[in-house]
């Protein structure tokens, strides 16, 4: 299983459809290969998404009737050999809807993961970002190793079904052996199928791709909107190229000071907080909470359900059964946004009655499984990028020593997040660093937005990012809300602050709080 839960902002779009280092190498020089910096992109109508992107239909026209355009940008496979082999990076854009005289440039988005396809995510959020389109071309991309950009491929669909159905919280030696063996099999498959790409998918590589993208798009500065893992990518870019940072926003902020273990522990605490808030919300409504009469009873019934599923799975989405692991995944997925709490309530009600279909659909959206049984490559890409970035390699003895600490953080989710630290064990490529370097002295102001109720990227990470960026760079904005991210909450205070900075260059007062 992966080291951390994927920090997926875009996963909520898929759920809605289903349900209704010092990092290696730094420098501030322009890309060395003039042929690549001067390449002309051939923008065309976007094709239907590839299997690695998740399949489905080509993006629908924009609300104003405009069409999405896609192009492939060449980038070096190895940034240490920029005149060597190249790979193609898939881009998508929506041209600015405003007067060309008011156009600022391109606003590049990364929606998280690592491993999420920006090409498929951006159209799903087009309405949310319509205001920003008045002065920017909205641009996103599949980072290297993801989707259509030289995707990392590991196991096939049938193998992934088995991988995600296994017991991710082993209770005895046999289950521990099975978990370790299946993780090694997955990692070996990654090496076998994608050996050429694995050394070249670090976040530093993606940051250099961003700078090449900036040049090819014709912008003197990088204007950027990073969400979730996208904040880490943005921080690494700012560290490598501080003088090229334009107007940038980090939302749902990854704590750049934490090791992968500390990040997992923080997520255990964050998701437990989200579960506590869900339970309180359920019992506080005027109508009766169908899960329990008190918040503690709600949590107790969920714990009992997971214990029962560990012994005896129930029917899920035919022919698969809802296991304890899948149910836990589904519950975690529903806690990313308050908008999905109703699905959690419905799924739990069904599961109590022996029907695991809703919780399994929630789990599928987290793992990138479509209704036809095909997986995108987000799990493979997430593992490859995470393991290339972090030096941490844990074994079962270490995880077992840490279990009490994780259980204290979350009785419900602690075990799963602790055992998930095995994901990079036996990985073929050495990791770059304990945590990324995002110090960016001299960079333009970066608006850093933290949500006090964020389960996946706990609120404290925003302040840590501000401090790590350095004096005069990070500008902290707090949103007192629920869910993963703040701008997508549609809170007017947050959106006015973000839009005011990106569109008009108005930097909010640091420490501003939105409720």
Of 137, 337, 484, 489, the catalytic one is: 484
- List phi, psi (to 5°) of 209: -60, -40
Please say if 200 is a catalytic residue. no
Beta strand residue intervals within 175-281, DSSP E? 222-227, 245-251
Match 């930097």 to its residue by tokens: 507
Residue 94, CA distances (Å) to 52, 64, 212 in order: 22, 11, 19
- Nearest-CA neighbor of 112 among 15, 198, 257, 233? 233
Nearest to 12 by CA among 343, 340, 356: 340
Closest CA relative to residue 292, chosen from 275, 313, 307: 275
Identify the CA nearest to 265 among candidates 115, 421, 88.
Answer: 421
Whole-angstrom Cα distance, residue 221 to residue 237?
12
293, burial (CB in 10 Å: exposed 0-12, middle 13-18, buried 19+): exposed
Sheet harboring 245-251: ordered strands across?
Answer: 44-45, 69-76, 86-94, 136-141, 105-110, 222-227, 245-251, 446-453, 474-482, 512-514
Q: For residue 214, how many other CB atoms are within 10 A of its CB?
A: 24
Rounded distance between C-alpha atoms, residue 494 and residue 490, angstroms: 8
- Residue 100: active-site member: no
Whose tokens are 């370097």? That residue is: 437
Q: Judge contact between 365 and 333, C-beta under 8 A.
A: yes
Q: Which residues contact 353 (CB under 8 A, 6 or more apart)?
A: none
- Asked if 324 and 306 count as a contact pair (C-beta separation under 8 A), the reply is yes
Whether residue 22 contacts residue 361, with contact meaning beta carbons closer than 8 Å, is answered with: no
Question: Within 10 A of 65 (CB to CB), how many other CB atoms are there?
Answer: 6
Out of 228, 363, 370, 386, the active site residue is 228
Contacts of 54 (CB under 8 A, 6+ apart): 14, 117, 120, 368, 370, 376, 378
- How far, in Å, CA of 409 to CA of 419, rounded? 14
Which member of 365, 389, 454, 489 is catalytic?
454
Residues 6+ away with beta carbon under 8 Å from 137: 93, 94, 95, 96, 103, 105, 106, 107, 217
The whole-angstrom separation of Cα 250 and Cα 243 is 17
DSSP string, 227-255: ETHHHHHHHHHHHH-GGGEEEEEEES---
Q: Is-catalytic flag, 454?
A: yes
**Where in the sequence numbering do the catalytic residues fall?**
228, 454, 484
């Amino acid at each position: 299983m992966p080291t951390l839960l994927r920090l997926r902002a875009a996963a909520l779009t898929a759920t809605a459809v289903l349900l209704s280092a010092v990092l290696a190498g730094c420098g501030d020089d322009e890309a060395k290969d003039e042929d690549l910096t001067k390449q002309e992109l051939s923008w065309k109508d976007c094709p239907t998404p590839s299997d690695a992107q998740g399949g489905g239909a080509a993006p629908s026209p924009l609300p104003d009737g405009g069409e999405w355009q896609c192009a492939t940008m060449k980038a070096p496979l190895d940034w240490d050999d920029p005149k060597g082999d190249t790979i193609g990076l898939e881009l998508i854009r929506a041209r600015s809807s405003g007067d060309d005289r008011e156009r600022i440039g391109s606003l590049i988005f990364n929606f998280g993961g690592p491993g999420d396809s920006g090409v498929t995510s951006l159209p799903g959020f087009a309405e949310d970002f319509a205001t920003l389109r008045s002065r920017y071309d909205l641009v996103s991309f599949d980072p290297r190793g993801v989707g259509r950009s030289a995707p990392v491929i590991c196991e096939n669909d049938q193998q992934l079904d088995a991988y995600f159905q296994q017991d991710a919280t082993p209770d005895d030696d046999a289950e521990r052996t099975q978990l370790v063996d299946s993780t090694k099999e997955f990692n070996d498959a990654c090496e076998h199928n994608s050996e050429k790409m694995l050394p070249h998918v670090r976040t530093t590589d993606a940051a250099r791709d961003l700078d090449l993208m900036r040049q090819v798009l014709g912008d003197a500065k990088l204007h950027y909107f990073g969400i979730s893992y996208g904040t880490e990518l943005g921080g690494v870019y700012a560290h490598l190229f501080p003088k090229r940072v334009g107007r940038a926003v980090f939302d749902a902020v990854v704590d750049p000071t934490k090791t992968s273990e500390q990040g997992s522990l923080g997520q255990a605490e964050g998701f437990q907080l989200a579960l506590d808030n869900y339970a309180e919300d359920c019992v506080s409504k005027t109508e009766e909470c169908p899960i329990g009469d008190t918040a503690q009873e709600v949590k107790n019934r969920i714990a009992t359900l997971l214990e029962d599923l560990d012994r005896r799975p129930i029917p899920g989405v035919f022919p698969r059964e809802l296991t304890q692991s899948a149910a836990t995944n589904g519950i975690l997925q529903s806690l990313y946004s308050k908008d999905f709490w109703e699905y959690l309530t419905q799924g739990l009600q069904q599961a109590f009655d022996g029907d695991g279909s809703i919780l399994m659909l929630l789990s599928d959206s987290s793992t990138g499984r479509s209704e036809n049984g095909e997986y995108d490559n987000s799990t493979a890409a997430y593992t490859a990028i995470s393991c290339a970035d972090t030096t941490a390699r844990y074994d079962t003895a270490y995880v077992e020593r840490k279990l009490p600490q994780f259980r204290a953080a979350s009785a419900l989710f602690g075990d799963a997040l602790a055992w998930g630290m095995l994901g990079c064990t036996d990985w073929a490529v050495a990791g770059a660093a304990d945590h990324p370097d995002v110090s960016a002295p001299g960079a333009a102001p970066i608006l850093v937005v933290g949500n006090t109720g964020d389960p996946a990227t706990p609120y404290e990470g925003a302040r840590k990012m501000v401090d790590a960026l350095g004096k005069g760079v990070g500008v902290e904005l707090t949103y007192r809300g629920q869910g993963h991210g703040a701008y997508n909450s549609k809170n007017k205070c947050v959106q006015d602050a973000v839009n005011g900075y990106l569109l008009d260059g108005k930097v909010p007062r640091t420490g501003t709080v939105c409720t």
